[in-house]
A and B are shown apart, each in its own frame.
Chain A
Amino acid sequence: MSAPALEVVCAAYAYADGTRALSDVSFSVEAGGVVGLVGPSGAGKSTLLLAAVGLLSVREGSISVMGLQVTKKNLKQVRDRVGLIFQNPDDQLFMPTLYDDVAFGLLNQGVNGAELDLRVKKAIAERGLSGKEHKFPGHLSGGQKRLASLATVLAMEPEVLLLDEPSSNLDPRARRKLIRQLAALDNTRIIASHDLEMVLELCSRIIVLDQGRIVADGNPRQILSDAALMEAHGLEKPHSLIPHEHYHG
Chain B
Amino acid sequence: MSLQDAYRLDRHAYLDSMVHRLDPRAKVLATLAFILTVVSFNKYALAPLTPFVLFPLCLAVLGFVPAGLILRRLLIASPFIIFIGMFNPLLDRAALFTVHGVAVSGGWVSFMSILARGFLCVAAAIVLIATTSMPRITEALGAMRVPRPLIVQLMLLYRYLFVLISEASRLNQARELRSARKRTRLATASRMLSTLLLRTVDRSEAIYRAMQVRGFDGRLRTPRKMSWRSEDTFFLALVVAGCAALRLLPVTQWLGAGVAL
B221 within 8 A of A: yes
Does A99 make an interface contact (CB < 8 A)? yes
Give the docked Cα–Cα distance between A83 and B162 (Å). Answer: 25
Given A99-B223, A107-B223, A116-B223, A94 contacting B159 (CB threshold 8 A): yes
Q: Could you mark each residue 194-225 of chain B with 1 if its beta carbon is under 8 Å from any beta carbon of chain A, else 0?
A: 00000000010011011111111100011100
Number of interface residues of A (CB under 8 A): 35
- Hey, which chain A residues are within 8 Å of B11, CB to CB? 136
Q: Compute how far the CA of A44 lies from the CA of B147 in the bound complex, rounded to whole angstroms.
A: 40
Q: Which residues of B contact A105 (CB under 8 A)?
A: 214-215
Cβ of A86 under 8 Å from chain B: yes
A55-B213 contact in complex given A96-B10, A107-B223, A108-B221, C-beta closer than 8 Å:
yes
Which of B3, B13, B133, B216 is close to A108, meaning CB atoms less than 8 Å apart? Answer: B216
Complex Cα distance, B135 from A9, in Å, reads: 42
Interface residues on B, range: 20 to 34
Bound together, the chains give a CA A103 to CA B210 distance in angstroms of: 14
A-B pairs under 8 A by CB, number: 74
Shortest beta-carbon distance from B136 to chain A in Å: 10
Contacts of A104 in B (CB 8 A): 211, 214, 216, 221
| Additional pairs, 6, CB under 8 Å, beyond known A94-B211, A96-B134, A108-B217 | A55-B212, A80-B215, A94-B210, A96-B133, A104-B221, A152-B214
Answer whether residue A153 sits at the interface, using C-beta atoms and an 8 A cutoff: yes
Q: Taking the nearest CB of chain A, how far is it from the CB of B129, in angstroms? A: 11
A-B contact pairs, 27 of them (CB 8 A): A50-B209, A79-B213, A79-B215, A80-B215, A83-B213, A84-B210, A84-B213, A88-B206, A91-B203, A91-B206, A91-B209, A92-B210, A94-B159, A96-B10, A96-B13, A96-B133, A99-B223, A100-B135, A100-B222, A103-B223, A104-B216, A105-B214, A105-B215, A116-B223, A136-B10, A136-B11, A156-B214
Chain B residues near A50: list those with CB within 8 A: 209
By a beta-carbon cutoff of 8 Å, the part of chain B in contact with chain A is 3, 7, 10-11, 13-14, 133-135, 159, 162, 166, 203, 206-207, 209-217, 221-223
Q: A99 to B212, alpha carbons, bound, how many Å?
A: 18
Known: A86-B210, A91-B206. A134 touches B215 (CB 8 A): no
Q: Is the CB of B210 within 8 A of A96?
A: no
